[in-house]
Amino acid sequence: MNTCTTQKDCEICPLLVGQTAADDNVILQTERWVAVLDRNQCYLGKSFITLRQHKETLSDLDEADWMELHQVIRQLEQAVKEAFGADVCNWECLMNNAVKAGRPTHIHWHLHPRYLGGTTFTGEEFPDPKWPRHLENAVHMVGDETFREIMQALRSRLTRA
């Protein structure tokens, strides 16, 4: 399934063209949205949820976009909480970097699961020292094996949903 429509000069659109649910970083893909796991796991389960059609502002979303996004949010939050024990899931939709660079914006969300006291997954610690404040410029790059295990933990819970 790939119903992505693109916009010239958008930095996000080229990432979506040809993307499929079988890609190594795709957690969940629907007709309108795709969720991918971020390599930077400063928050265990940190992901991007992107509209597959190029729309630049939240006011451009139609009712079907919002309804499907709601289902994606519910599924992802449940999977993250079950897989890793997240206390809360924070969502951001900023798009400041595109505006600053003079490029078109593209609707996408950042999912930041938060953990009171941090958490451990497969023996690796994922601290959350600034809970409940936002971690600025935090970096916790994970290796290939940990990345695959995080993906498996999320995907296995989504298939049960």
Q: What does the pLDDT read at residue 140?
A: 96
Is 110 among the residues known to form the active site? yes
Q: What does the pLDDT read at residue 2?
A: 43
Measure Cα distances from 145 to 24, 32, 61, 124, 138 in Å: 12, 29, 37, 11, 21
* Cα–Cα distance measured from residue 24 to residue 54, given in angstroms and rounded to the nearest whole number: 23
The full set of domains in the chain, from first to last, is: 13-160 (3.30.428.10)
pLDDT along the chain (161 residues), means of 10: 64 88 94 97 97 95 98 98 97 84 90 96 94 84 98 92 56
* Cα–Cα distance measured from residue 3 to residue 25, given in angstroms and rounded to the nearest whole number: 18
Among the listed residues 110, 112, 134, 140, the single catalytic one is 110
Q: What does the pLDDT read at residue 87?
A: 97
Q: What does the pLDDT read at residue 1?
A: 40
Q: What does the pLDDT read at residue 3?
A: 54
